[in-house]
Structure 1
Amino acid sequence: MDSELAVDAVGVTKTFGSLCAVDDVTVKVEAGEVYGVLGPNGAGKTTFLRMLFGLVRPDSGTIRIFDRSWAADGVATLDGVAGFIESPAFYPYLTGRQNLEGLGLLDGGVRRDRVDEILELVDLTDRAGDAVGGYSYGMRQRLGVAASLIREPRLLVLDEPANGLDPAGIRDMRALVRRLAARGLTVLLSSHHMDEVEEICDNVTIMRQGGVAFHGAIAELRAMAPDPGYALSTTADDRALEIAAATPGIAAVHGPGTGLVVTGPAHEVSSYVSALVRAEVRLLAFTPTRTPLEQLFFMLTDTDPQEAEAA
């Protein structure tokens, strides 16, 4: 991996009246990595990305992109940088190809084979001749990535690229980011869902109310994660609680509805289930609740899981 920093933001702060949207945030993104900025809605992620693009001026702190800054280099700071903030927009009556070709002309021209290459990369070749007005939301998000790639950037910035997508769309977006990273492109993306970035990001910054709740590698985050939890329903929940109390490493409580919630390391949970079977306590349901990283995310951001799911 190149040692050059694609993004070097130090002590960045931005306030809007009495609201501190970004509070002393430091983010360093190595060239060639996939970096995630995570946090619940309103945590300050989009404001931070707007400052990278020069759309918002920070009140204090410094931002350098490939060792260039807005104060010293002006718009040249964005040389080799592309992406979108919030949702990308296109002319709905033009085809996907025509939208890309038009954007290419505005940017000084683009080779036709480059458009073909980009459409193939984002899996839109078969729909390139269709009007964008007939595209699904996921297809428009991928077309937004395609539009960003026209400049052949070194750094791609994506604001909530999987927001609003169905499970298939999220899968496709993850696969696209992996393909881009495999080509050596640096990707900085924001999200409010931990599971969207767990498998694709090298490092993350988790924001909470404008500040930093965690900064480091995904591997470090996994080491901090609590034991996994499981929703358990049995034919004799009281007996299941007694067996849990006698099983080292296992904690079990009554769930918010019916049944129990069991937590503990995977090996101990397996032993606990075996003990239930031996005691002739039949399992009616046994399903994971949240992933350990997802639970840690809620803990770090003081987010109500039910509110997050509703968002």
Structure 2
Amino acid sequence: MTDVLAVEAASVTKTFGSVTAVDDVTVQVAAGEVYGVLGPNGAGKTTLLRMLFGLIRPDQGEIRVFGRTWAEDGVGVLDGVAGFIESPRFYPYLTGRQNLEGLALLDGGVRPGLLEEVLEVVEMTDRADQKVGGYSYGMRQRLGVAASLLREPKLLVLDEPANGLDPAGIRDMRALVKRLASSGLTVLLSSHDMAEVEEICDNVTIMRRGTVAFHGTIAELRGMAPDPGHLLVTGDDDRAVAVADEHPEVSLGRDDEGRLLVSGPQPAVSAYVAGLVRADVPLLAFTPTQTPLEALFFMLTDGAEPQEVAR
């Protein structure tokens, strides 16, 4: 870790005509951490990353990368920085290896053996000599990470790296980011998936319509999360409601289809389910509706005024 922040966005604002895409956003990413920028589509995540890469300039505020700014250092801001915005693009008629070789030449060349190293890191050595046109979406995402690693960056920026992947691809991408983070690389990623951020990030900023709804650690976020909810299907809902009267910490409601929804502290919910069993209430289904963090994410991004936790 160093005293210089890997990324420091200070009161950054960006408008497009009458639309304010990013509104007075401040983000601090320490060197060596995995930082998540989370929010639904249209929250301003990609606009913030575009400003970091210098693809667009903020109307107000300033972004520093390892202490450097675009005004003072120009393209030198991106020394030690790599990544991609949205989905990486490659020549489909070339192999993965040929695409990487071309990118390396454009970037001034790489040290001997590095290309093979990055292919091994992203687990694509056995597919490197096949044409990219035959790659799955997940393979192209991994090739994008490989292309970024050719720069041997100190900061890796990934915009929705698991977006569009099937469950196996999502699992592989998360495992890859974890491996990279364990090497000491600073990773800044955007996502709309709370589970992805919870699993791999140290700290998170949640954005809502261009503003900050939350800053803080994953632990702080968990502390704000509501009680978990479950869908309950029984053979006798009237008796299930009667049993709930004996468990005041448990709340019962109904969904749009009239099915019972159970919420409350986990020990109280467990005691309620045990009470249903003792009362011989037939249990047909008991499944989680949302994880507590998913519920909190929707509260922060769809609900009333944003809540902020100071870092």
Q: How far apart are the structure 2 equivalents of 1:19 and 1:254?
A: 38
Give the 5 Å matches for 1:175-214. 175-214=175-214
Give the 5 Å matches for 1:114-129. 114-129=114-129
- 2:2 aligns with 2
Q: How far apart are the structure 2 equivalents of 1:86 and 1:199?
A: 21
Q: How far apart are the structure 2 equivalents of 1:155 and 1:42?
A: 24
Q: Secondary structure at the match of 1:153?
A: coil
Equivalent residue letter for 2:180: L
- 2:153 aligns with 153
Deviation at 1:245, TM superposition (A): 2.8
Q: Secondary structure at the match of 1:32?
A: coil
Q: How far apart are the structure 1 equivalents of 2:264 and 2:160?
A: 32
Q: How far apart are the structure 1 equivalents of 2:135 and 2:249?
A: 50
Equivalent residue letter for 2:79: D
Equivalent residue letter for 1:234: T
Output the aligned Cα RMSD: 1.0
Kept in 2: contact 1:231–1:262 (CA 8 A) = yes
Kept in 2: contact 1:158–1:188 (CA 8 A) = yes
After superposition, what is the alpha-carbon deviation per residue over 1:56-79, rounded to whole angstroms, capped at 9, x for unaligned? Answer: 110001110000000000000000
Q: How far apart are the structure 2 equivalents of 1:293 and 1:2?
A: 31
- 1:67 aligns with 67
- 1:94 aligns with 94
Q: How far apart are the structure 1 equivalents of 2:41 and 2:238?
A: 40
Select between 128-137 and 236-245 the one with higher mean Cα deviation.
236-245
Deviation at 1:208, TM superposition (A): 0.4
How many residues of Structure 1 are paired with residues of Structure 2 in the alignment? 303
- 1:260 aligns with 260
Q: Secondary structure at the match of 2:178?
A: helix
Deviation at 1:196, TM superposition (A): 1.2
Select between 102-111 and 289-298 the one with higher mean Cα deviation.
102-111
Deviation at 1:112, TM superposition (A): 4.7
Select between 1-10 and 220-229 the one with higher mean Cα deviation.
1-10
Kept in 2: contact 1:235–1:281 (CA 8 A) = yes
After superposition, what is the alpha-carbon deviation per residue over 1:76-114, rounded to whole angstroms, capped at 9, x for unaligned? Answer: 000000000010000111111111111001111124511
Q: How far apart are the structure 2 equivalents of 1:132 and 1:109?
A: 21
Deviation at 1:2, TM superposition (A): 3.0
- 2:218 aligns with 218
- 1:280 aligns with 280
Deviation at 1:288, TM superposition (A): 0.9
After superposition, what is the alpha-carbon deviation per residue over 1:166-206, rounded to whole angstroms, capped at 9, x for unaligned? Answer: 11111111000000001100000001111111011000000
Is 1:52 the counterpart of 2:52? The answer is yes
Q: Secondary structure at the match of 1:42?
A: coil
Kept in 2: contact 1:228–1:288 (CA 8 A) = yes
Kept in 2: contact 1:245–1:251 (CA 8 A) = no
Deviation at 1:258, TM superposition (A): 4.5
Structure 1: any 5+ residue segments left out of the alignment? 304-311
- 2:308 aligns with none
Equivalent residue letter for 1:31: A
- 2:238 aligns with 238
- 2:41 aligns with 41
Q: How far apart are the structure 2 equivalents of 1:154 and 1:105?
A: 20
- 1:292 aligns with 292
Deviation at 1:255, TM superposition (A): 2.1
- 1:139 aligns with 139
Equivalent residue letter for 1:199: E
Kept in 2: contact 1:22–1:211 (CA 8 A) = yes
After superposition, what is the alpha-carbon deviation per residue over 1:260-294, rounded to whole angstroms, capped at 9, x for unaligned? Answer: 11011111111000100111101100111111001
Equivalent residue letter for 1:44: G
Deviation at 1:248, TM superposition (A): 2.7
After superposition, what is the alpha-carbon deviation per residue over 1:236-263, rounded to whole angstroms, capped at 9, x for unaligned? Answer: 1121122123203101112222521101
TM (norm. structure 1) is 0.96
TM (norm. structure 2) is 0.96
Deviation at 1:3, TM superposition (A): 3.2
Is 1:13 the counterpart of 2:13? The answer is yes
Q: How far apart are the structure 1 equivalents of 2:240 and 2:126?
A: 55
Kept in 2: contact 1:205–1:216 (CA 8 A) = yes
Deviation at 1:207, TM superposition (A): 0.4
Q: How far apart are the structure 1 equivalents of 2:208 and 2:255?
A: 28
Q: How far apart are the structure 2 equivalents of 1:275 and 1:29?
A: 48
Structure 2: any 5+ residue segments left out of the alignment? 304-311
After superposition, what is the alpha-carbon deviation per residue over 1:5-24, rounded to whole angstroms, capped at 9, x for unaligned? Answer: 00011100001111000000
